[in-house]
C-alpha cells in the first residue's frame, strides 16, 4: 500500500463520465487496483448508526420518511436519553463496530439540543469508539463545540448532483450543504459526505455527484453511497429501481475518484443480495453500516453480515 499522505490526482467531470462508460470488467479491475494501492482489500470498517431523535423534520427531502412534509408512518419522537444511547453504543462495540454514528431529524440543532448531543459524544467516546454525528446544518461555533466534546466525524451528505438537487429538496439549497461542510472542516473535524443514488437521476447526474465529492478539498474521509430505500408515503416511493450493476459501477467510480476515502455501503443493503454486496466490495467499498436498523429503515442483521464476511474472508479494520 502507498503512503496515504500522497496527493490525490483529481478527476474532471469528463474523466468521471469516461469511467462510467468503461466495460464492467475493466472498470472493476481499475477500481480494485486503486483500492489495493491504498487499503488492505480484505479489511472492512464497521459503523453503527443510531437515531437519537426521530421524525418531525422540517425539511422536505423527497427520500426521507422522517420529514414532517410526508405521511410515511414515522411519528415524531423526543430525544433519546443519555443512558439509552450509552447502552446502544456498548452493544455496537460488543458486536464489532469501531465507529458509532448518531443522527437527529433536524434542520439544524438548537443550542439546548447541541448540549445534549455533546454529552452523548463524550459518553460514546469514553467507550473507546470513534464518534460521528449527523444533525443537519450547523451554525457558526457549533462544529467547534462538537470537536471539543471529542467528536471525530461529522456527516452531511450532498445527496446528488447540483442540477438534480432541486428535484429532491427545496427547503435548503446546495450552498447550505457546502457551507456546513466548510464549518466542519474549519473546526478540524473529519468529514463524512456522500449521496443517494436511484432517485431517478441520470448516469451523468450520478457522475456529477461523484465529481462534487471529488472536488472537495480535502476529499471526505468517509463517503457513504446510499441506494434509495423507497418508503411508502414519500415522494420517491415509486422511483424506478436502479439496476444492480449500475450501483456497483457507481461504487467503483467513487473508489477511483476518491482513492483515500472509506467508501461505505449505506442505506439499501437489506435489498442487496450477497453477490451484489460482494461485487461492491470488489469494486472498492470498504465500510458498511452494521446493525439491524439505519435511522428508520431496515439493515441486514449482524449474523447475516458475519456470514458474508466469513465467506469473503473479510475482517474488521
Catalytic residue annotation: 57, 61, 64, 101, 132, 192, 264
* CA-to-CA dists, residue 173 to 67, 104, 176, 209, angstroms: 16, 19, 5, 15
* CA-to-CA dists, residue 44 to 215, 285, 288, 312, 313, angstroms: 25, 8, 8, 11, 10
Residues sharing a CB contact under 8 Å with residue 15, sequence separation 6 or more, in sequence order:
none
Adjacent-strand bridge partners of 289? 47
- Return the half-sphere exposure (C-beta side, CA atoms, 13 A cut-off) of residue 169: 23
Between 244-257 and 274-282, two packed helices, what is the crossing angle to 10 degrees? 20
Residues sharing a CB contact under 8 Å with residue 237, sequence separation 6 or more, in sequence order:
230, 231
Between CA 33 and CA 29 the distance in angstroms is 6
CB-CB neighbours of 12 under 10 Å: 11
Amino acid at each position: 500500500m502507498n503512503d496515504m499522505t500522497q496527493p490525490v490526482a483529481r478527476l474532471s467531470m469528463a474523466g468521471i463520465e469516461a469511467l462510467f462508460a468503461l466495460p464492467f470488467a475493466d472498470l472493476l479491475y481499475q477500481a480494485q487496483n486503486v483500492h489495493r494501492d491504498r487499503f488492505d482489500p480484505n479489511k472492512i470498517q464497521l459503523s453503527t448508526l443510531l437515531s437519537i431523535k426521530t421524525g418531525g423534520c422540517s425539511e422536505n427531502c423527497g427520500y426521507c420518511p422522517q420529514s414532517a412534509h410526508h405521511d410515511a408512518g414515522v411519528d415524531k419522537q423526543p430525544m433519546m436519553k443519555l443512558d439509552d444511547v450509552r447502552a446502544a453504543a456498548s452493544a455496537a462495540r460488543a458486536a464489532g463496530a469501531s465507529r458509532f454514528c448518531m443522527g437527529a431529524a433536524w434542520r439544524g440543532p438548537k443550542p439546548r439540543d447541541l448540549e445534549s448531543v455533546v454529552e452523548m459524544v463524550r459518553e460514546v467516546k469514553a467507550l473507546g469508539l470513534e464518534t460521528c454525528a449527523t444533525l443537519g446544518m450547523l451554525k457558526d461555533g457549533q462544529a467547534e463545540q462538537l470537536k471539543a466534546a471529542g467528536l471525530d466525524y461529522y456527516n452531511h451528505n450532498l445527496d446528488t448532483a447540483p442540477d438534480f438537487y432541486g428535484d429532491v429538496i427545496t427547503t435548503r439549497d446546495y450552498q447550505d450543504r457546502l457551507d456546513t461542510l466548510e464549518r466542519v472542516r474549519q473546526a478540524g473535524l473529519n468529514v463524512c459526505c456522500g449521496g443517494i443514488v436511484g432517485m431517478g437521476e441520470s448516469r451523468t447526474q450520478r457522475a456529477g455527484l461523484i465529481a462534487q465529492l471529488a472536488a472537495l478539498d480535502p476529499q471526505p474521509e468517509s463517503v457513504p453511497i446510499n441506494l434509495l430505500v423507497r418508503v411508502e408515503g414519500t415522494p420517491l416511493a415509486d422511483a424506478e429501481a436502479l439496476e444492480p450493476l449500475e450501483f456497483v459501477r457507481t461504487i467503483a467510480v467513487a473508489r477511483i475518484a476518491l482513492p483515500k476515502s472509506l467508501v461505505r455501503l449505506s442505506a439499501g443493503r437489506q435489498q442487496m443480495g450477497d453477490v451484489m454486496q460482494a461485487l461492491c466490495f470488489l469494486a472498492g467499498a470498504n465500510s458498511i453500516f452494521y446493525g439491524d436498523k439505519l435511522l428508520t429503515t431496515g439493515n441486514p442483521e449482524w449474523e447475516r453480515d458475519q456470514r458474508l464476511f466469513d465467506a469473503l474472508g473479510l475482517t474488521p479494520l
